[in-house]
Amino acid sequence: MAVDMHEVRNYFIQLQESICARLEAFEPTMRFLREDIETPGGGLSRPRVIAGGEVIEKAAVQFTHSIGAALPPSATERNPHLAGRPFQAAAISLIVHPLNPYVPTTHMNLRYFVVDGVDGTWYFGGGFDLTPFYANRQDIVHWHRTAAAAAGEHYPAMKAACDDYFYLPHRQEPRGVGGVFFDDWTTGGDAASFALVQRIGDAFLPAYVPIVERRKDQPYRERERNWQCYRRGRYAEFNLAIDRGTRYGLQSGRRIESVLASLPPVVTWEYQRAIPHGSPEAALMDALTPRDWLANAD
Give the span between the Cα atoms of 171 and 238, in whole angstroms. 10
| Active-site choice (107, 142, 144, 154) | 107
Say whether 154 is catalytic.
no
Give the span between the Cα atoms of 145 and 152, in whole angstroms. 10
Name 174's bridge partners.
Answer: 167
Give the torsion sign (CA, 281, 174, 63, 153).
negative
Say how many residues make up the chain: 298
Which residues, including other chains, have CB under 8 Å from residue 197's CB and lie 6 or more apart? 8, 110, 112, 124, 126, 185
What single-letter DSSP state applies at residue 41? G
Give the span between the Cα atoms of 53 and 99, in whole angstroms. 8
Among residues 280, 276, 281, the alpha carbon closest in space to that of 230 is found at 281
The amino acid occupying position 263 is L
SS3 for 147-194, per residue?
A: HHHHHHHHHHHHHHHHHHHCEECCCCEECCCEEEEEEEECCCCHHHHH
Report which secondary-structure segment, H or E, holds 276.
none
How far from 153 is each of 148, 187, 289, 290, CA to CA, in Å? 8, 12, 23, 19
| Active site (catalytic) residues | 107
